[in-house]
Amino acid sequence: MEKLYRLPWPHLVVDDFLTPEVLDESLQKISAEGYEFGIESRGAGRIEFSLLKCEALWRAIYSKRTISLLNKAFQVDVSLNKHNLLQLRRMNDETPDFPIHHDHIPDANTIASFLYISPGWTDARGGRFNLFESTEQPTPALSIPPCQNRFLAFRTEPSHWHSVDRVHGCWERLSVLALWDITWD
């Protein structure tokens, strides 16, 4: 089920994004591939990433269905940003929480999307995606749990403040990041 939420700023959430078959195949292939993650520091945060190698997963994300979903939800035309490709992102007990920030890129209109793929999320495991109205807000206006097979998308506006909670309990939070360019007719 897909839903575009308006508060605290527009974001799309789609549960059960992949078919069970594609999800199972993707998890098996990711597990078998033995990914090596690069680490990039961003202020007080840290991003662990690797180029997504799983063909079934990148085909499901970079699909006419996903493009149509984003076009409809945000009322714009999108295409995959060819500079970022699709990244597998990881957080675990060693990864610090990611402080409040926005993903705005000057002179660019983009949409960021994440597909959470790790099984077994519980409230105690953390890793929530937090949305804020401003950097002055002490607690999130909304927190989105990284439940398996949940797709999250939002425009990367400078007012779209967010953070990511630290992961706990020997759990690994895997997600797939795609950056989409907004194109105007």
Q: What are phi and psi of 54, to 5 degrees?
A: -80, 105
- Spatial distance between the Cα atoms of 165 and 145, rounded to a whole number of angstroms: 10
DSSP 25: H
- Spatial distance between the Cα atoms of 33 and 26, rounded to a whole number of angstroms: 10
Amino acid 185: pLDDT: 56
- Spatial distance between the Cα atoms of 13 and 85, rounded to a whole number of angstroms: 21
Torsion of CA 65, 70, 73, 74, to 10 degrees: -160
Amino acid 1: pLDDT: 73
Q: Are the beta carbons of 147 and 88 closer than 8 angstroms?
A: no
What is residue 55's three-state secondary structure?
Answer: helix
Provide mean pLDDT across the span 42-60.
88
Provide mean pLDDT across the span 112-136.
96
Q: Are the beta carbons of 174 and 147 closer than 8 angstroms?
A: no
The CATH number linked to 13 is 2.60.120.620
Amino acid 85: pLDDT: 82
Q: What domain range includes position 6?
A: 2-183
Average pLDDT, the chain: 93
Question: Does 112 have pLDDT greater than 80?
Answer: yes
**Tokens linked to 144:** 């989105």
CA distances to 28, 78, 121, 130 from 163, rounded to whole Å, are 29, 25, 18, 5
- Spatial distance between the Cα atoms of 98 and 43, rounded to a whole number of angstroms: 9
Question: Does 44 have pLDDT greater than 80?
Answer: no
Which of 2-16, 30-44, 84-98, 124-138 comes out lowest in average pLDDT?
30-44
How long is the chain? Answer: 185
Question: Does 55 have pLDDT greater than 60?
Answer: yes
Query: pTM for the full model?
Result: 0.94
Residue 102: count of CB within 10 angstroms of its CB? 16
Provide mean pLDDT across the span 156-171.
94
- Spatial distance between the Cα atoms of 182 and 110, rounded to a whole number of angstroms: 5
Amino acid 33: pLDDT: 87
Amino acid 158: pLDDT: 94
Confidence of residue 42 (pLDDT cuts 50, 70, 90): confident
Query: In total, how many domains does the chain have?
Result: 1
